């Protein structure tokens, strides 16, 4: 997988133990803390880059290239939305598109996502 360094990262505080959510989508609470994604197809803050415990620093990519954990096997160029687990799945009609896969992978493996939150829209 190609490694790209151009990306935008923000720092937040983990609300709960997120050590199992590295390279998964996370959402932001009203107090700016981040937690796991609660529902499929929703807006997210970005993709978690580290494995924070409760109240630890959480690094989140919100624009640019990042690894992402896939819920099922997908190929390059697929529009992506978030599943309940925070894993990436193929966006379906009317759902929020968070970016596009640059490289595909098998279920449970990591693909490379071009997180394009500035152009988020539905199919």
Burial (Cβ within 10 Å: 0-12, 13-18, ≥19) of residue 116: middle
pLDDT at 2 over 60: no
Report the C-alpha gap between 4 and 56 in whole angstroms: 26
pLDDT computed for residue 10 by the predictor = 93
Residue pLDDT, tens place only, 78-118: 999 999 889 999 998 888 899 999 998 999 999 999 998 65
pLDDT computed for residue 38 by the predictor = 81
Residue pLDDT, tens place only, 43-72: 899 999 999 999 999 999 999 999 999 999
pLDDT computed for residue 89 by the predictor = 96
Higher pLDDT, 54 or 2: 54
pLDDT computed for residue 93 by the predictor = 83
Averaged pLDDT, 20-27: 96
Residue 77 has, within 13 A of its CA and on its CB side, a CA count of 0
């Amino acid at each position: 997988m190609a490694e790209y360094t151009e990306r935008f990262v923000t720092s937040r505080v983990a609300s709960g133990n997120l050590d199992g959510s590295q390279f998964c989508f996370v959402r932001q609470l009203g107090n700016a803390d981040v937690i796991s994604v609660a529902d499929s197809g929703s807006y997210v803050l970005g993709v978690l880059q580290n494995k924070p415990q409760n109240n630890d620093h959480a690094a989140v990519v919100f624009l640019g290239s990042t690894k992402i954990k896939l819920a099922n096997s997908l190929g390059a160029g697929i529009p992506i939305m978030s599943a309940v687990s925070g894993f990436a799945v193929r966006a379906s009609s009317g759902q929020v598109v968070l970016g596009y896969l640059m490289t595909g992978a098998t279920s449970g493996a990591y693909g490379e996502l071009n997180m394009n939150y500035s152009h988020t829209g539905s199919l």
